Protein backbone atom coordinates (compact mmCIF):
# COMPACT_ATOMS: atom_id res chain seq x y z
CA UNK A 1 0.00 0.00 0.00
CA UNK A 2 1.15 3.51 -0.83
CA UNK A 3 1.84 5.27 2.48
CA UNK A 4 2.94 8.65 1.09
CA UNK A 5 1.56 11.28 3.44
CA UNK A 6 0.13 14.38 1.74
CA UNK A 7 -0.53 17.54 3.74
CA UNK A 8 -2.26 20.52 2.11
CA UNK A 9 -2.01 24.02 3.59
CA UNK A 10 -5.09 26.07 2.74
CA UNK A 11 -6.50 29.42 3.84
CA UNK A 12 -7.18 33.01 2.80
CA UNK A 13 -4.45 35.05 1.09
CA UNK A 14 -1.67 36.29 3.35
CA UNK A 15 -2.60 34.31 6.49
CA UNK A 16 0.67 32.36 6.55
CA UNK A 17 0.11 29.25 4.41
CA UNK A 18 3.53 29.30 2.78
CA UNK A 19 5.30 30.05 6.06
CA UNK A 20 3.60 27.29 8.06
CA UNK A 21 3.95 24.82 5.17
CA UNK A 22 7.67 25.61 4.92
CA UNK A 23 8.16 25.22 8.68
CA UNK A 24 6.35 21.88 8.56
CA UNK A 25 8.52 20.73 5.66
CA UNK A 26 11.74 21.59 7.51
CA UNK A 27 10.60 19.71 10.61
CA UNK A 28 9.47 16.73 8.57
CA UNK A 29 12.85 16.54 6.80
CA UNK A 30 14.71 16.88 10.10
CA UNK A 31 12.70 13.97 11.47
CA UNK A 32 14.14 11.83 8.69
CA UNK A 33 11.20 11.78 6.28
CA UNK A 34 12.02 12.22 2.62
CA UNK A 35 10.01 15.38 2.10
CA UNK A 36 8.81 17.36 -0.91
CA UNK A 37 7.28 20.81 -0.57
CA UNK A 38 5.43 21.99 -3.66
CA UNK A 39 3.52 25.16 -4.33
CA UNK A 40 0.40 25.27 -6.49
CA UNK A 41 -0.12 28.99 -5.91
CA UNK A 42 0.81 30.75 -9.16
CA UNK A 43 2.20 33.56 -6.98
CA UNK A 44 5.02 31.34 -5.73
CA UNK A 45 6.86 32.37 -2.62
CA UNK A 46 8.69 29.22 -1.51
CA UNK A 47 12.04 30.47 -2.78
CA UNK A 48 11.67 33.76 -0.84
CA UNK A 49 10.53 31.99 2.30
CA UNK A 50 13.39 29.51 2.29
CA UNK A 51 15.81 32.18 0.99
CA UNK A 52 17.12 29.88 -1.68
CA UNK A 53 16.92 29.33 -5.41
CA UNK A 54 14.27 26.94 -6.67
CA UNK A 55 14.55 26.28 -10.38
CA UNK A 56 11.85 25.02 -12.71
CA UNK A 57 12.47 21.42 -11.72
CA UNK A 58 12.43 19.67 -8.40
CA UNK A 59 15.28 21.26 -6.42
CA UNK A 60 17.06 19.75 -3.42
CA UNK A 61 17.24 22.56 -0.83
CA UNK A 62 18.19 20.74 2.39
CA UNK A 63 19.02 17.17 3.41
CA UNK A 64 15.83 15.15 2.88
CA UNK A 65 14.01 18.21 1.53
CA UNK A 66 13.13 18.98 -2.10
CA UNK A 67 11.08 21.91 -3.34
CA UNK A 68 9.04 22.39 -6.48
CA UNK A 69 7.10 25.37 -7.78
CA UNK A 70 4.59 24.36 -10.41
CA UNK A 71 4.68 26.25 -13.68
CA UNK A 72 0.99 26.41 -14.58
CA UNK A 73 1.60 27.18 -18.28
CA UNK A 74 3.89 24.22 -18.71
CA UNK A 75 1.42 21.89 -16.99
CA UNK A 76 -1.41 23.23 -19.09
CA UNK A 77 0.49 22.72 -22.28
CA UNK A 78 1.69 19.22 -21.57
CA UNK A 79 -1.68 17.96 -20.37
CA UNK A 80 -4.11 19.90 -22.45
CA UNK A 81 -2.07 20.64 -25.58
CA UNK A 82 -3.41 17.88 -27.83
CA UNK A 83 -7.02 18.37 -26.77
CA UNK A 84 -6.70 22.16 -27.00
CA UNK A 85 -5.38 21.93 -30.56
CA UNK A 86 -8.35 19.82 -31.55
CA UNK A 87 -10.83 22.14 -29.81
CA UNK A 88 -9.19 25.17 -31.42
CA UNK A 89 -9.52 23.74 -34.92
CA UNK A 90 -13.10 22.81 -34.15
CA UNK A 91 -13.85 26.33 -32.92
CA UNK A 92 -12.21 27.80 -36.04
CA UNK A 93 -14.22 25.48 -38.28
CA UNK A 94 -17.35 26.83 -36.57
CA UNK A 95 -16.37 30.32 -37.71
CA UNK A 96 -14.50 31.76 -34.73
CA UNK A 97 -11.50 34.01 -35.12
CA UNK A 98 -8.25 32.01 -35.03
CA UNK A 99 -6.70 34.32 -32.43
CA UNK A 100 -9.61 33.66 -30.07
CA UNK A 101 -9.79 29.91 -30.60
CA UNK A 102 -6.84 29.06 -28.34
CA UNK A 103 -8.34 31.10 -25.50
CA UNK A 104 -11.76 29.57 -25.94
CA UNK A 105 -10.30 26.07 -25.90
CA UNK A 106 -8.88 26.59 -22.41
CA UNK A 107 -11.27 26.49 -19.51
CA UNK A 108 -10.43 29.06 -16.80
CA UNK A 109 -8.98 27.46 -13.68
CA UNK A 110 -7.75 24.50 -15.65
CA UNK A 111 -4.09 25.20 -14.88
CA UNK A 112 -4.93 24.55 -11.23
CA UNK A 113 -6.41 21.23 -12.13
CA UNK A 114 -3.18 20.05 -13.65
CA UNK A 115 -1.32 20.78 -10.43
CA UNK A 116 -3.34 17.93 -9.00
CA UNK A 117 -1.92 15.64 -11.65
CA UNK A 118 1.57 16.52 -10.52
CA UNK A 119 0.67 15.60 -6.93
CA UNK A 120 -0.62 12.29 -8.26
CA UNK A 121 2.66 11.62 -10.07
CA UNK A 122 4.76 12.29 -6.97
CA UNK A 123 2.39 10.20 -4.91
CA UNK A 124 2.58 7.27 -7.29
CA UNK A 125 6.36 7.39 -7.55
CA UNK A 126 6.61 6.74 -3.77
CA UNK A 127 9.82 8.70 -3.92
CA UNK A 128 8.80 10.78 -0.89
CA UNK A 129 7.41 9.88 2.53
CA UNK A 130 5.75 13.26 2.86
CA UNK A 131 4.42 15.71 0.26
CA UNK A 132 3.54 19.15 1.55
CA UNK A 133 1.36 21.28 -0.71
CA UNK A 134 1.30 25.05 -0.31
CA UNK A 135 -1.98 26.01 -1.93
CA UNK A 136 -3.43 29.04 -3.65
CA UNK A 137 -5.83 31.14 -1.48
CA UNK A 138 -9.03 29.44 -0.33
CA UNK A 139 -11.47 30.21 -3.13
CA UNK A 140 -9.12 28.87 -5.75
CA UNK A 141 -8.09 25.83 -3.77
CA UNK A 142 -11.62 24.86 -2.93
CA UNK A 143 -12.46 24.85 -6.58
CA UNK A 144 -9.39 22.80 -7.22
CA UNK A 145 -10.36 20.21 -4.66
CA UNK A 146 -13.98 20.03 -5.76
CA UNK A 147 -13.26 19.62 -9.44
CA UNK A 148 -12.84 15.83 -9.37
CA UNK A 149 -16.58 15.55 -8.70
CA UNK A 150 -17.41 17.27 -11.96
CA UNK A 151 -14.80 15.14 -13.66
CA UNK A 152 -16.27 11.86 -12.55
CA UNK A 153 -19.52 12.95 -14.22
CA UNK A 154 -17.68 14.04 -17.37
CA UNK A 155 -15.97 10.66 -17.57
CA UNK A 156 -19.27 8.81 -17.31
CA UNK A 157 -20.79 10.95 -20.04
CA UNK A 158 -17.72 10.56 -22.26
CA UNK A 159 -17.66 6.80 -21.92
CA UNK A 160 -21.37 6.56 -22.57
CA UNK A 161 -21.25 8.73 -25.69
CA UNK A 162 -18.15 6.97 -26.99
CA UNK A 163 -19.65 3.52 -26.49
CA UNK A 164 -23.16 4.09 -27.82
CA UNK A 165 -22.81 6.94 -30.26
CA UNK A 166 -19.35 7.95 -31.38
CA UNK A 167 -17.68 4.58 -31.90
CA UNK A 168 -20.55 2.67 -33.52
CA UNK A 169 -22.19 5.50 -35.49
CA UNK A 170 -20.49 8.86 -35.77
CA UNK A 171 -16.85 7.93 -36.36
CA UNK A 172 -17.63 5.41 -39.15
CA UNK A 173 -19.96 7.97 -40.78
CA UNK A 174 -17.30 10.67 -40.53
CA UNK A 175 -15.12 8.66 -42.92
CA UNK A 176 -17.58 9.58 -45.62
CA UNK A 177 -18.46 13.10 -44.62
CA UNK A 178 -15.92 15.89 -44.62
CA UNK A 179 -18.04 18.23 -42.51
CA UNK A 180 -18.57 15.52 -39.92
CA UNK A 181 -14.85 14.78 -39.92
CA UNK A 182 -14.19 18.38 -39.01
CA UNK A 183 -16.23 18.22 -35.82
CA UNK A 184 -15.61 14.73 -34.52
CA UNK A 185 -12.57 14.20 -32.35
CA UNK A 186 -10.02 11.80 -33.84
CA UNK A 187 -9.62 8.57 -31.90
CA UNK A 188 -6.30 9.60 -30.33
CA UNK A 189 -7.76 12.86 -29.02
CA UNK A 190 -10.76 11.02 -27.59
CA UNK A 191 -8.39 8.56 -25.94
CA UNK A 192 -6.18 11.25 -24.44
CA UNK A 193 -9.27 13.03 -23.12
CA UNK A 194 -10.43 9.82 -21.45
CA UNK A 195 -6.99 9.11 -19.99
CA UNK A 196 -6.87 12.63 -18.58
CA UNK A 197 -10.24 12.18 -16.90
CA UNK A 198 -9.17 8.81 -15.50
CA UNK A 199 -6.01 10.32 -14.02
CA UNK A 200 -8.04 13.08 -12.42
CA UNK A 201 -10.34 10.53 -10.84
CA UNK A 202 -7.31 8.84 -9.37
CA UNK A 203 -6.47 12.16 -7.77
CA UNK A 204 -9.83 12.17 -6.09
CA UNK A 205 -9.04 8.81 -4.47
CA UNK A 206 -5.78 10.22 -3.15
CA UNK A 207 -7.55 13.29 -1.76
CA UNK A 208 -10.16 11.20 -0.02
CA UNK A 209 -7.86 8.67 1.61
CA UNK A 210 -7.88 10.11 5.11
CA UNK A 211 -5.09 7.94 6.42
CA UNK A 212 -2.62 9.59 4.07
CA UNK A 213 -4.10 12.93 3.05
CA UNK A 214 -5.22 15.82 5.17
CA UNK A 215 -5.58 19.57 4.97
CA UNK A 216 -4.46 22.12 7.54
CA UNK A 217 -6.50 25.30 7.57
CA UNK A 218 -4.44 28.36 8.37
CA UNK A 219 -6.15 31.47 9.71
CA UNK A 220 -5.55 34.69 11.61
CA UNK A 221 -7.68 35.69 14.60
CA UNK A 222 -9.81 38.14 12.57
CA UNK A 223 -13.53 38.04 11.84
CA UNK A 224 -13.44 37.83 8.04
CA UNK A 225 -10.71 35.24 8.02
CA UNK A 226 -12.55 33.09 10.55
CA UNK A 227 -15.77 33.27 8.49
CA UNK A 228 -14.01 32.19 5.34
CA UNK A 229 -12.25 29.35 7.14
CA UNK A 230 -15.55 28.09 8.51
CA UNK A 231 -16.95 28.04 5.05
CA UNK A 232 -13.83 26.27 3.79
CA UNK A 233 -14.11 23.64 6.52
CA UNK A 234 -17.74 22.90 5.63
CA UNK A 235 -16.90 22.50 1.96
CA UNK A 236 -13.74 20.47 2.48
CA UNK A 237 -15.64 18.09 4.72
CA UNK A 238 -18.44 17.76 2.23
CA UNK A 239 -15.98 16.99 -0.54
CA UNK A 240 -14.68 14.20 1.67
CA UNK A 241 -11.41 15.90 2.54
CA UNK A 242 -10.13 15.58 6.08
CA UNK A 243 -8.99 18.71 7.91
CA UNK A 244 -6.67 17.50 10.66
CA UNK A 245 -5.97 20.79 12.43
CA UNK A 246 -6.58 24.52 12.47
CA UNK A 247 -3.54 26.77 12.67
CA UNK A 248 -4.15 30.18 14.21
CA UNK A 249 -1.22 32.28 13.04
CA UNK A 250 0.06 35.72 14.12
CA UNK A 251 -1.24 35.85 17.68
CA UNK A 252 0.08 38.89 19.56
CA UNK A 253 1.97 37.38 22.53
CA UNK A 254 0.74 37.86 26.14
CA UNK A 255 3.93 39.74 26.98
CA UNK A 256 3.21 42.68 24.66
CA UNK A 257 2.58 45.73 26.91
CA UNK A 258 2.31 48.47 24.28
CA UNK A 259 -1.14 50.11 24.67
CA UNK A 260 -1.77 50.30 20.92
CA UNK A 261 -1.17 46.61 20.47
CA UNK A 262 -2.91 45.78 23.72
CA UNK A 263 -6.25 46.61 22.08
CA UNK A 264 -5.33 44.32 19.23
CA UNK A 265 -4.31 41.68 21.74
CA UNK A 266 -7.73 41.81 23.50
CA UNK A 267 -9.56 41.66 20.18
CA UNK A 268 -7.49 38.69 19.04
CA UNK A 269 -8.13 36.89 22.32
CA UNK A 270 -11.89 37.28 21.81
CA UNK A 271 -11.58 35.93 18.27
CA UNK A 272 -9.39 33.10 19.50
CA UNK A 273 -12.06 32.06 22.00
CA UNK A 274 -14.52 32.07 19.13
CA UNK A 275 -12.19 29.89 17.04
CA UNK A 276 -12.16 27.29 19.82
CA UNK A 277 -15.95 27.35 19.96
CA UNK A 278 -16.43 27.18 16.21
CA UNK A 279 -13.84 24.59 15.31
CA UNK A 280 -13.72 22.22 18.26
CA UNK A 281 -13.28 19.22 18.30
CA UNK A 282 -10.62 19.87 15.65
CA UNK A 283 -7.19 20.37 17.23
CA UNK A 284 -6.21 24.05 17.24
CA UNK A 285 -2.56 25.03 17.09
CA UNK A 286 -1.36 28.57 17.65
CA UNK A 287 1.62 30.53 16.36
CA UNK A 288 2.71 33.91 17.78
CA UNK A 289 3.23 37.07 15.78
CA UNK A 290 7.01 37.15 15.33
CA UNK A 291 9.00 40.36 15.68
CA UNK A 292 9.92 40.22 12.01
CA UNK A 293 9.04 38.37 8.83
CA UNK A 294 9.51 34.63 9.11
CA UNK A 295 12.08 34.11 6.39
CA UNK A 296 15.03 31.73 6.30
CA UNK A 297 15.68 28.37 7.93
CA UNK A 298 16.46 29.62 11.45
CA UNK A 299 13.17 31.53 11.84
CA UNK A 300 11.16 28.80 10.17
CA UNK A 301 12.64 26.39 12.68
CA UNK A 302 11.54 28.62 15.54
CA UNK A 303 8.06 28.78 14.08
CA UNK A 304 7.95 24.99 13.73
CA UNK A 305 8.80 24.71 17.42
CA UNK A 306 5.86 26.95 18.39
CA UNK A 307 3.57 25.09 16.03
CA UNK A 308 4.39 21.48 16.83
CA UNK A 309 6.40 21.54 20.04
CA UNK A 310 7.66 17.95 20.23
CA UNK A 311 4.91 16.46 18.06
CA UNK A 312 5.69 14.76 14.78
CA UNK A 313 4.49 17.35 12.22
CA UNK A 314 3.40 14.62 9.80
CA UNK A 315 1.09 13.01 12.33
CA UNK A 316 -2.60 12.89 11.38
CA UNK A 317 -3.92 15.02 14.23
CA UNK A 318 -7.60 14.35 13.56
CA UNK A 319 -9.36 12.02 11.16
CA UNK A 320 -13.10 12.51 11.59
CA UNK A 321 -15.10 14.82 9.39
CA UNK A 322 -17.00 17.14 11.69
CA UNK A 323 -19.55 18.17 9.04
CA UNK A 324 -21.75 15.82 7.02
CA UNK A 325 -24.84 15.99 4.88
CA UNK A 326 -27.14 13.01 5.02
CA UNK A 327 -29.66 12.85 2.19
CA UNK A 328 -32.83 10.76 2.48
CA UNK A 329 -35.91 10.69 0.23
CA UNK A 330 -37.79 13.28 2.25
CA UNK A 331 -35.13 15.43 3.80
CA UNK A 332 -31.56 16.56 4.01
CA UNK A 333 -29.80 16.46 7.33
CA UNK A 334 -26.93 18.79 8.12
CA UNK A 335 -24.91 17.04 10.80
CA UNK A 336 -22.20 18.82 12.78
CA UNK A 337 -20.04 17.50 15.53
CA UNK A 338 -20.22 19.63 18.68
CA UNK A 339 -18.97 17.52 21.57
CA UNK A 340 -18.58 20.25 24.16
CA UNK A 341 -22.14 21.49 24.12
CA UNK A 342 -24.41 21.02 27.13
CA UNK A 343 -27.76 19.56 26.05
CA UNK A 344 -30.70 21.97 26.19
CA UNK A 345 -33.62 23.36 24.22
CA UNK A 346 -32.60 23.80 20.56
CA UNK A 347 -33.67 26.78 18.48
CA UNK A 348 -32.76 27.31 14.83
CA UNK A 349 -32.57 30.32 12.58
CA UNK A 350 -30.91 31.17 9.27
CA UNK A 351 -29.41 34.28 7.74
CA UNK A 352 -28.26 33.84 4.16
CA UNK A 353 -26.11 30.76 4.20
CA UNK A 354 -25.46 31.00 7.91
CA UNK A 355 -27.29 28.63 10.26
CA UNK A 356 -27.58 29.67 13.89
CA UNK A 357 -28.17 26.97 16.45
CA UNK A 358 -29.04 28.01 19.98
CA UNK A 359 -28.78 25.21 22.51
CA UNK A 360 -29.74 26.34 26.02
CA UNK A 361 -27.70 29.52 26.43
CA UNK A 362 -25.04 28.61 23.89
CA UNK A 363 -25.21 29.97 20.37
CA UNK A 364 -23.22 28.44 17.55
CA UNK A 365 -23.26 29.42 13.93
CA UNK A 366 -22.34 27.33 10.90
CA UNK A 367 -21.95 28.10 7.24
CA UNK A 368 -24.23 25.80 5.30
CA UNK A 369 -23.51 24.75 1.73
CA UNK A 370 -25.40 26.28 -1.20
CA UNK A 371 -27.40 23.06 -1.65
CA UNK A 372 -29.19 23.81 1.64
CA UNK A 373 -29.33 27.57 1.65
CA UNK A 374 -32.76 27.85 -0.03
CA UNK A 375 -34.35 25.39 2.39
CA UNK A 376 -35.65 26.01 5.90
CA UNK A 377 -34.48 23.97 8.83
CA UNK A 378 -37.41 22.19 10.43
CA UNK A 379 -35.97 20.73 13.60
CA UNK A 380 -32.79 19.57 15.26
CA UNK A 381 -31.68 16.90 17.68
CA UNK A 382 -28.49 16.66 19.71
CA UNK A 383 -27.19 13.18 20.43
CA UNK A 384 -23.77 11.61 21.00
CA UNK A 385 -21.96 14.89 20.44
CA UNK A 386 -23.61 15.54 17.06
CA UNK A 387 -26.27 18.09 16.15
CA UNK A 388 -28.54 16.86 13.36
CA UNK A 389 -30.48 19.65 11.68
CA UNK A 390 -33.25 18.56 9.32
CA UNK A 391 -34.07 20.53 6.20
CA UNK A 392 -37.28 19.76 4.34
CA UNK A 393 -36.89 19.16 0.63
CA UNK A 394 -39.09 21.44 -1.50
Ligand X SMILES: Nc1ncnc2c1ncn2[C@@H]1O[C@H](COP(=O)(O)OP(=O)(O)O)[C@@H](O)[C@H]1O
User: What is each CA distance from 160 to 59, 185, 345, in whole angstroms?
Assistant: 43, 15, 51
The radius of gyration of the chain from alpha carbons, rounded to an integer in Å, stands at 24
Q: CA–CA separation, 75 vs 310, rounded Å?
A: 38
Least CB distance to Mg ion at residue 20 (A): 10
* Binding residue for ligand X, selected from 2, 14, 262, 273, defined by CB under 6 A: 14
Q: Which of 110, 170, 189, 295 binds ligand X (CB under 6 A)?
A: 295
Q: Does 249 bind ligand X (CB under 6 A)?
A: yes
Q: Which of residues 340-359 bind ligand X (CB under 6 A)?
A: none
Helices 138-161 and 110-125: crossing angle, nearest 10°? 80
Candidates 289, 297, 348, 364; binder of ligand X (CB under 6 A) is 289
Out of 4, 18, 79, 192, point to the residue binding ligand X (CB under 6 A).
Answer: 18
Cis peptide before 281 (omega within 30 of 0): yes
Pair type for strands 213-219 and 35-39 = unpaired
Number of residues binding to ligand X, judged by CB under 6 A: 17
Which of the residues 255 through 284 are near ligand X (CB under 6 A)?
A: none
Choose the one of ligand X, Mg ion, none that binds residue 61, judging by a C-beta under 5 to 8 angstroms depending on kind: none
Nearer CB in complex with ligand X: 249/337 = 249
Query: What residues contact 147, with CB distance under 8 A and at least 6 apart?
Result: 109, 112, 113, 116, 200
Q: Which of residues 44-73 bind ligand X (CB under 6 A)?
A: 45
CA distance 68 to 57: 6
CB nearer to Mg ion: give 132 or 380.
132
The rounded distance, in Å, linking the Cα atoms of 209 and 217 is: 18
Among 149, 188, 258, 293, binds ligand X (CB under 6 A): 293
What's the min distance (Å) between Cβ of 16 and ligand X? Answer: 4
Residue 117 binds: one of Mg ion, ligand X, none (C-beta under 5 to 8 A by kind): none
CB 264 within 8 A of CB 252: yes
In the complex, the residues that contact ligand X under the rule CB under 6 A are 11, 13-19, 45, 249-250, 287, 289-290, 293-295
Amino acid sequence: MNKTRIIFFAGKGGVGKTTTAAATAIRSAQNGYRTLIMSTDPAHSLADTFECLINRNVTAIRPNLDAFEIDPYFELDSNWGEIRDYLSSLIISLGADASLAGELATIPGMDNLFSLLRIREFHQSQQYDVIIVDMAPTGESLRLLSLPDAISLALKVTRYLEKYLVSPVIRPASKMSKSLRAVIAPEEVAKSWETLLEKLLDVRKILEADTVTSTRLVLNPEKMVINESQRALTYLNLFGITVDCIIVNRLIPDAVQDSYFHDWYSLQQRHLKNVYELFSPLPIKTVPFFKEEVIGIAKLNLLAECLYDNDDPTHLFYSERPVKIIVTKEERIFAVQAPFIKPGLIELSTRGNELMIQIGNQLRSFIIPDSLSGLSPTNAVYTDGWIHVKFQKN
